[in-house]
Amino acid sequence: MSRPALLFVCLGNICRSPMAEGALRAAADKAGIDVFVDSVGTGSWHIGEPPDPRAQDEMKRHGVSIAGLKGRQINAEDYRRFTHIFALDDDNLEVIRQRAPSDASAEIMLLLDMVEERQGQPVADPYFGGADGFARTWEDVSAAADALVAKFRR
């Protein structure tokens, strides 16, 4: 198999998907597997911005820095360049599918479909809530990262 290239997609690319990116980078480093990882938003509001400070703080608590990431919006090339595109929730999954170019080659799915007993579930949007929402996001994205490392280690 060629090197996996994994793209995580949420709405703003400042909370959930950069946390998923950071969790996967950390898990892949620890496991010694070679994957290309990035994250984007379907929305354009936060292009060029670093992750939300609450997302950065939650990741820091788990020893992962995402301070250097910058918001970006999904584009047509992403569908050819990445082998897998993971939507953090159903709304974003639908938008990703709608915007797919005819020559898209990436496999597109819901992130928690990778996690046993979580199939079909969304990673809830923590943006409008409190810090506990970000702790939940960490639980979800780190479970997904572990499942992805197990999948791509084989």
16 in active site: yes
Smallest distance, ligand 4NP to C-beta of residue 14, A:
4
**36 scored as a contact of ligand 4NP (CB under 6 A):** no
Structure tokens at 93: 């999954």
**16 scored as a contact of ligand 4NP (CB under 6 A):** yes
Instruction: Classify 73 as helix, strand or coil.
Output: strand
**45 scored as a contact of ligand 4NP (CB under 6 A):** yes
Q: What residue spans of 32-130 are helical by DSSP H?
A: 53-61, 78-81, 90-99
Closest CA to 86 of 107, 110, 66, 63: 110
Determine phi and psi for 124, rounding to 5 degrees: -65, 145
| Active-site residue (options: 15, 16, 54, 89) | 16
Structure tokens at 26: 């950390």
Please choose, out of 11-19, 72-80, 93-101, 103-111, the segment that lies near ligand 4NP by the rule CB under 6 A: 11-19
**14 scored as a contact of ligand 4NP (CB under 6 A):** yes
DSSP-assigned states of every residue in 12-45: SSSSHHHHHHHHHHHHHHHHT---EEEEEESS-T
**13 scored as a contact of ligand 4NP (CB under 6 A):** yes
Q: Which C-beta is closer to ligand 4NP: that of 140 or that of 152?
A: 140
The correct pick among 7, 15, 69, 143 for binding ligand 4NP (CB under 6 A) is: 15
- Element containing residue 40 per DSSP (H, E): strand 36-41
Show which residues are catalytic: 10, 16, 125
Where along the sequence are the contacts to ligand 4NP (CB under 6 A)? 10-16, 45, 125, 127
